[in-house]
């Protein structure tokens, strides 16, 4: 199996190295693997995810994502890479002026897919997140949990090879959380996507094998 992510002595820091968050960690994540990341608040979970999306560059060491060196990556390459990564980050908001359906296929619209492809994919994903009846409503007409499910559907709309999710079930009730975990499991199991999820609580019912990284004191330890 090819590695989708590989970190070698990776150090991540803010403010020119004054605040070292991740300190010289090494790990690899292969195509089709599901990885949970847990750890105390402020330990660097979001920072590590951001580095995988190229929002923060390695301060030292190496990070490779999808075969690209994240330290040397050029702007155009990064944009291209990001088109094939599905992100579920808290600051990636829905567009309130657009219908739910249009929000879901935003990544397809950006890449210029036909309306037919958009329609088929929106229908499939809205069915998955159990929001079929909401296709023509606007985000503000939905509850917070429903909006979050739309965000998850959007992250999956382009069948990304890599999905990065930061607390995708934060603030969700049991039902919505179940829908989200099902969808992520399915993306990994059926579409062979690599999934990296930060969560404070690993779901008790989870039907596929997964790896578990704990971030603490600047290090990443794998639970075996």
What residues line the site for ligand ATP (CB under 6 A)? 14-15, 19, 21, 39, 41-47
| Beta carbon nearer to ligand ATP, 46 or 148 | 46
| Coil vs helix vs strand at 64 | strand
Residues 6+ apart with CB under 8 A from 195: 33, 34, 35, 162, 163, 165, 184, 187, 188
Q: Which residue has the tokens 């919505």?
A: 176
The least distance separating Mg ion from the CB of residue 199, rounded to whole angstroms, comes to 10
Q: Residue 65 in contact with residue 52, Cβ under 8 Å?
A: yes
Q: Residue 29 in contact with residue 64, Cβ under 8 Å?
A: no
Residues 20-49: x where in contact with Mg ion by CB under 5 A, - otherwise, as a string: --------------------------x---
The least distance separating ligand ATP from the CB of residue 56, rounded to whole angstroms, comes to 8
| Coil vs helix vs strand at 133 | helix
Total number of residues that touch Mg ion (CB under 5 A): 1
For residue 100, the partner it binds in ligand ATP, Mg ion, none, with Cβ less than 5 to 8 A by kind, is none
For residue 175, the partner it binds in Mg ion, ligand ATP, none, with Cβ less than 5 to 8 A by kind, is none
| Beta carbon nearer to ligand ATP, 41 or 190 | 41
Residues 6+ apart with CB under 8 A from 69: 62, 63
Based on DSSP, count helices (H) and strands (E) in the chain, helices before strands: 7, 10
Could you tell me the two tokens for 150? 């739309």
| Beta carbon nearer to Mg ion, 46 or 118 | 46
| Beta carbon nearer to Mg ion, 90 or 192 | 90
| Beta carbon nearer to ligand ATP, 43 or 121 | 43
> Smallest Cα–Cα separation from 35: which of 150, 158, 184?
184
The least distance separating ligand ATP from the CB of residue 37, rounded to whole angstroms, comes to 9
For residue 19, the partner it binds in ligand ATP, Mg ion, none, with Cβ less than 5 to 8 A by kind, is ligand ATP
> Smallest Cα–Cα separation from 81: which of 186, 164, 148?
164
The least distance separating Mg ion from the CB of residue 41, rounded to whole angstroms, comes to 7
Contact set with Mg ion (CB under 5 A): 46
């Amino acid at each position: 199996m090819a590695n989708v992510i590989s970190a070698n002595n990776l150090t991540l820091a803010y403010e020119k190295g004054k605040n070292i968050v991740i300190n010289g960690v090494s790990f690899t994540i292969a195509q089709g693997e599901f990885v949970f990341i847990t750890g105390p608040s402020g330990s660097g979970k979001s920072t590590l995810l951001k580095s995988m999306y190229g929002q923060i560059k390695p301060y030292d060491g190496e990070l490779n994502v999808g075969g690209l060196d994240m330290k040397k990556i050029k702007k155009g390459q990064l944009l291209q890479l990001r088109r094939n990564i599905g992100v579920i980050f808290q600051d990636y908001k829905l567009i309130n002026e657009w219908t739910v359906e249009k929000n879901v296929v935003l990544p397809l619209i950006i890449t210029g897919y036909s309306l037919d492809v958009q329609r088929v994919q929106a229908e499939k994903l809205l069915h998955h997140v159990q929001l079929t009846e909401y296709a023509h409503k606007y985000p503000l007409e939905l509850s917070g949990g429903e909006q979050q499910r739309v965000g998850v559907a959007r992250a999956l709309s382009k069948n990304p090879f890599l999905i990065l999710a930061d607390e995708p079930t934060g603030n969700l009730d049991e039902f919505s959380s179940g829908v989200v975990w099902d969808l992520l499991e399915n993306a990994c199991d059926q579409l062979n996507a690599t999934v990296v999820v930060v969560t404070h609580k690993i779901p008790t019912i989870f039907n596929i094998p997964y790896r578990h990284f704990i971030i603490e004191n600047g290090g990443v330890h794998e639970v075996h």
